[in-house]
Structure formats: structure tokens, C-alpha cells
A and B are shown apart, each in its own frame.
Chain A
Amino acid sequence: MRPISAMLLLALTSPLVAADWPQFKGANGSGVSSEKDLPVKFTDKVGLRWKVPLLARGVSSPVVFGDKVYVTCSAGTRDDRLQLLAFDTASGKKLWQRNIAATGGTTAHPKTCMAAPTPVADDTGIYALFATGDILACGHDGAVLWVRSLTGDYPTISNQVGMASSPVLYKDKLIVPMDNAGESFLAALDTKTGKNIWKIERPRDINWVTPVIRELNSTNAEVFYQSQKELVAYDVADGKKKWSHKAGSSSPTPTLAEGLFLTSSDGLSLMKPTENKLEEVWKSAKYRTGYSSPLFYDGKIYAAIPSTGIVYCIDSKTGKAVWDDKVPGKGKQTFSASPVAGDGKVYVVTESGTVAVFKAGGAEAELLGVSEVGEELLATPAISGGAVFIRSDKSLICMGAKK
């Protein structure tokens, strides 16, 4: 696999190569793309590269790797038919689809479904975890690399609200978060075989946070995994607990950016990671983002506050709001998806189907574009190849110039 840093370097030095968006919230969950010339709005006639129907539901985000965009879906009367689909980023043509049956329970809150965790990709393939505890690993050509049934292996796994934490990759390890009401663990699976490299016990409590990798040097890294009680740093090599910090939250997902750690625990906190602890830079109870994870972009923090429809731009040095603005649109606007950014633009999608693009930074809010999808938007968008990939409950949309 290409190391994350190498991928970023490649993207930054070669404008002809699209920067991948390989996991939930892009490279290492930053929510930030290095791409330029990104679009700000679209209609059916202008600024829409393509739109394809999705025949089944999913709240997982699209991921982009190379010339393919991947989504997961779940279908069926019992929501037990799990799908991984690959589309061509240029045309939207479906390239392949793999179907598996749920081997774990499918009870979940109606807002979510079994296609809630976002898949993750690297050079070797695409790895899709479903809320049932099923994992399907495929090459980019659709050849199956391996299959796992975590509930088959560990039968007490259960989260009847619906699991949504996404796996992440570090070199040859697929890091699988599995906090739930039954046997809970964080595991590193061999990307080649799906076998456990290490598996460490975790508290039995439901959790929706996606782990974050912190590279210490070319050979060492930590995986940060936050839950309701604390944030723990584990050694990626062997899963050993290195240190923990009392900053609890079961959603949203923290962000590591510009050497700082942005996390939610009774509001928003900015922390500075040191060798074995986190030092608080500031904390504010004002910014409570619910399911939506905050964004750290170019010295500013962006927080979408559910139920209010308000997006805050926050000075990362002080925690003070620089500006705030309400996303326009019909009816009450609220957020499940996380804001993402690139090319000096911040992309926010609302549950009712509005795509709003703000100019990043500035002393006042500047809305660059607003588009209406007319479909429910719960998934965080992906940015790659000069386009923004938006997944609704019915469609996959590529906002960008036609190729």
C-alpha cells in the first residue's frame, strides 16, 4: 500500500493525478483535499458530470481511489443484502457489484442501515465493513481478496442502534473498530488474508467513532480511538495501549490536522498531542456537532451544528467564532454529514438535500454556491479528480465538469 504521506505527496506534486479520497473523510480522515478548481454548484444541466441511481440505501460515504468511486448499500426486507459497488469516476458507469448476505443482526435505528461504515481503499483493494460485522475485501477489478464474518467469529457482537464506525488502513493492516454492546475490540487485520494480526479488548459500549492514525515516523504510528469514556492511543504495530486521555465521545470522529487534534467531548476541544498525552489548547461547549465531525482546514475550524442549520468558522488559535452562517434552503436544515474542504472551499450538505459551498476563511461568511439535490443527504461527500462525489439515499452524484 502507498503510505498516506506518499499519497499526499504524489497529489501535491503531480497536478495530472487525482488525489484519492480513500476513506471516511478522505486521507486519514482529514476531510481535506489538495485538489484545485473544484466546483461550487450544479444543476441538472450545468456542472453535473453525472448522476446514477442507487437501488439500495446507505449512509456510508463514497470513497475514490484511482479512477473508481466506491459505495456500499444495504437492501432487502430485512436489510440483510449487502452490496459493494464500483463506478467509473469519469462516466458514472457501474463497473462491478459484489453482493453478500448479512451474517449478523440487522436491527438499527431507522435513520441508519447496514451500509453505514464507509469502506477504505489502498493500492491493493477496497475493504468494506458493514454494520452487521461482515467485511468484504476486493481488488480494484472486483476480484474477492477475502471475506470475514465478525459476528460469526465473535457471536455476542451487537449494536442495535446500528454500527457506523469505519475501518482505516495503515500499511498492511486494516484497523477495524468494533466497540459494541457485546464483545468489543479494536483489531488489525492482514489486508492480504483478513486474518487477525492483533486484536485488543475494548469496553463493551456502543460507539460510532472512526479511528485516526498518527504517524510518528516512517515505521511507527499510533491509532487514536475515542469512545464515551476516553481517547486511547494504541501502537499500530501490536495494538498495545500506549496512553489515554479523559475526553469521551461516542460521536463524532476526531480529526488530526496541522499537528493538532480536534475532538468532541461536551463541545469541541483542540488538543496538542505530545509523546504520551494530549494537552488542551482550548475547549468550547458552544460547538456541539452531533453526528457531524468538525473540519480543520487552513488554520480554521468548521463546525456544522445540527438542528440549527448553522455553520461556524472558528479561529483555531483561540476557539472564537470568526463567522457563522445559516445554510439556506427550504424548511429546517440539519446535518448528519461532516463538512469537507479543498481549493479554498468548504462543502456542507444538509439532510434535506442542500449542498452549500462556503469560501474558506475570511472575516465574514461568503456563500459561493448552493445546489438542491432534492434527496436525503446523510453521507459525507468525497473530493477527487476536480469533482465532489455526493451520495444521497437514492443516487450517487458527481458534481464537476464533464470529462
Chain B
Amino acid sequence: MRRFAILCAAFSFGPPLSAAELDAPLKVINSVGKEGAGNAEAAKAWAELVKAGPDALLPILEAIDDRKPTSVNWLRTAIDAIAEKQASDGAKFSEDSLTIFIRNRKNSPTARSVAFEIFENQEPVRSDVLLAGFIDDPSLELRRKGVQKHITLFKNDPNSFQKIFEAARDKDQVEAIAKELEKLKLPANITKHYGYITQWALSEDFDNKNGLGFGKAYPPETAAERKDWKAAQSSATYGTMDLNAAIGKKMNAVAYASAILEAEAELPAEIRVASQNALKIYLNGKEIFAREEYHHGTKMDQHVAKVTLAKGKNTILLKVCQNDMPYDWAQAWGFAARVCDATGGSLKLKQLVDDKPVSLGELAPAETKENK
């Protein structure tokens, strides 16, 4: 907290508050619990923080803990109120303090992004110098700005474009850069870039009449031995596995898809899945995600399960359930899945197919550009 006080002292307006005075309301807000627990106290703490004015900005930013999303929202709105008052007073926050906070990647990605927004609003020209440094930022908001800046700066430099492609995470940016690389006849493999699992072992299908199969543990969930599973490989850029094509068109059906990934060391990861169907995700035999929703739409990375991959083999099992809705728009039965880091970037993982290591994102050889 000593550093907070030093940074606070750098602000131009108002006497700095002691760290101890701000600690109490920040602690109250960071203690809000489930179902509104602590809200009444948090409202009082919020008012105290806002009353403290610009001197409270950095302590609030420092207190943002991305593991506590409700508290983050409380704190984010306190910053809004303080920044509005500053703007209406015609006052400015310390540029140096903001820059130091933004550049320190040990700070919360959310807090750094909020700090940059304040800086950007305050100094649209001078804040621009930070943009290029965001190219590989853990904050997706900042990384997006960094990628855009690099696209502008290095428009005619093919080598740089490949680096920018590697850094990009947002689909629109990745596709735009890939298109430019394609024009330059340089490689840009979107499937590998995102770490899609394209090779799967598929089970036979099981019954899902009246949706009961979703909650029923069929043998693939319990049996260690998996015989007679069928190998299938996606040909879609975004890794879509069409179960209607791979297994056969079925209604009221459950299918399982399994893949084994090998990690060199234990590492945090995210398993991200898109599917129109009810879905469960298992990692190493443990259910880590369940969503019983059919044909309400899909998009990339729709479902996210935060996990820790074990060193060595990790078995991912997906349970994908189809219902019996007769409409054309309800016939999709499939999924797309990838394993990535918290920014959505691919990890150094190998997949084991027939006990042989293969790279993630290898598409079926026949088609490589279809079914985006």
C-alpha cells in the first residue's frame, strides 16, 4: 500500500488520503457476496470512495481483483463517478501515475484497461504512444487496440503481419490479417492459431428421448475402456464437428466425443466450446461444465470452462445431446472445441491420436476452406 500512497501523492488535486482510510471501503466492496450479501455496506463504501475524489483512483484500480466480478463492477462504477467529476471540474489525473499503472502487467487486466480509457479520454494524442505496446497484452481490450495499431504501423511489412497475426485474438482482426497474409501468399492457419481440436474419437449414439439422456451417465462417462469408437476429423476452419455427418442424422440422441491432449507441465487453460446442442464437458473423468439448452444459437467460444491441465495426458470428453425439434433450424448436431490460454491464444499442446502426437488444428486433407 505504500506504493499507492506515493502514486496518490502524484495526483494534482486534493490532499492525498491515507492508505488506511481507503483500505476500509475497498475491503468492504471486495467482500460483497452472493445474492446481494454486503450490498448495503458496499453502497456506503462506494460513496466514501467517490467522495475521496481523484486521490482514490489508483487505490481503486489497485484493488480491482478479476476473480471477484461483482466487486469489480462496484469499483468500476466508482471510477466512473470520480472521472466524471474530474472532467466536469476541468481537472486531470496524473498522466505519469496512469502510465505507470497501465504499463505494469502485474495489475489486473480489467483495471489497466479502465485506466487506459481514462488516459485516452484525457489525452487522446499522448495515450497513443502506449498502443503499440499492447500487442501481446493480457487484457483483450488493450490487445485489440495494440493489434489495430500494429496493422496501421506495419501495413506494408509482411513479416510484421505474421507476428501481428500470432498476437491477434479477436475473430474479426484474425480474419482480416489472415486475408492480407493470403494475398501475400504467406501462411495464416486460423484453425491452428486458435488451437481447435479437429480430431476426435466418437462414440455410438445413445437415447435422449424427452431430454432424459442429458442427465443419464452412459458408459462413455464411466467406463475406462472405450472400444469401437470411430475416428473423425473436422474439415472446418473453426473446427466444427458435424455429428449428423460423422455419426448419421439422429434425433433424441446423445453422442460423446473424446480427445487426448498432452501437456509438458501442469498449466491453467480454458476449454471453449460452441454448440447448438445441450452439452457437458468432462476433463479427466470429472464433469466441469453443463448447459442444457437446445438450438438457441451459437457463436465462437460460447461456453468456457476454466481448468488446470495435468502434466502428461489429459482426456477431454464432450457429451453432445440432440433433441427432436422438427424445424429446419433445429437439425444441427455438433460442436467446435478448442483449448487455449486466458486470452484465447493457443497453448503448446500435442494431441495423441492412436498414441501418436499430432499438432492441434490439423484439418481433414480433402477440404480446408469450407464450413467456416
Interface residues of A (CB under 8 A from B): 76-78, 96-101, 103, 105, 107-109, 134, 136, 138, 142-149, 152-153, 156, 158-161, 181-182, 189-190, 192-196, 204, 206
Contact = CB atoms under 8 A, between A and B. Distances in A.
A147 B297 contact: no
B81 A147 contact: no
A160 B37 CA distance: 28
A278 to B, nearest CB: 30
B227 interface: no
A206 B294 CA distance: 11
Contacts of B296: 107, 158-161, 181, 206
B355 interface: no
Given A134-B73, A144-B77, A152-B70, A189 B292 contact: no
Contact of A144 (B36, B43, B293, B294): B43
Contacts, number: 120
A107 to B, nearest CB: 5
14 contacts: A97-B80, A103-B70, A103-B73, A107-B296, A107-B298, A143-B46, A143-B47, A143-B81, A147-B77, A149-B70, A158-B296, A159-B293, A160-B293, A160-B302
Given A147-B42, A160-B297, A193-B39, 13 more contacts: A76-B141, A96-B84, A100-B77, A107-B297, A109-B297, A144-B46, A146-B42, A147-B73, A153-B34, A182-B292, A194-B39, A195-B36, A195-B39
B363 interface: no
B76 A143 contact: no
B194 to A, nearest CB: 15
Contacts of B73: 100-101, 103, 134, 136, 147, 149
B76 A100 contact: yes
A196 B36 contact: yes
Contacts of A98: 77, 80-81
Contacts of A108: 297
A158 B289 CA distance: 13
B40 A193 contact: yes
A214 to B, nearest CB: 27
A146 B36 contact: yes
Interface residues of B, number: 40
Interface string B30-52: 00101111011011001100100
A96 B141 CA distance: 23
A58 B32 CA distance: 29
A206 B296 CA distance: 9
Interface string B11-41: 0000000000000000000001011110110
Given A143-B50, A146-B42, A160 B298 contact: yes
A99 B36 contact: no
A47 to B, nearest CB: 31
Given A143-B81, A195-B37, A152 B297 contact: no
A296 B42 CA distance: 43
Contacts of B43: 143-146
B345 to A, nearest CB: 16
B299 interface: yes
- The B interface is mostly helix, strand or loop, or mixed, namely helix
A207 to B, nearest CB: 12
A82 B284 CA distance: 36
A99 to B, nearest CB: 6
A196 B40 contact: no
B170 interface: yes
A103 B74 contact: no
A148 B70 contact: yes
Contacts of B34: 152-153
A147 B40 contact: no
Contacts of B72: 101
A161 B78 CA distance: 32
Contact of A182 (B39, B291, B297): B291
Nearest to A98: B77
A118 B80 CA distance: 22
A77 B144 contact: yes
Given A100-B77, A182-B292, A192-B40, A107 B70 contact: no
Contacts of B240: none
Contacts of B50: 143
B69 interface: yes
A242 B150 CA distance: 62
Interface string B61-79: 0000000011011101110
Interface string B315-332: 000000000000000000
B110 interface: yes
A192 B39 CA distance: 9
A181 B292 contact: yes
B172 interface: yes
Given A97-B80, A107-B297, A142-B81, A148 B302 contact: no
Contacts of A152: 34, 69-70
A101 B69 contact: yes
B302 A96 contact: no
Nearest to B43: A145
Contacts of A149: 69-70, 73
A182 B294 CA distance: 11
Contacts of B298: 107, 160
Interface string B148-174: 000000000000000000000010100
Contacts of B35: 148, 153, 195-196
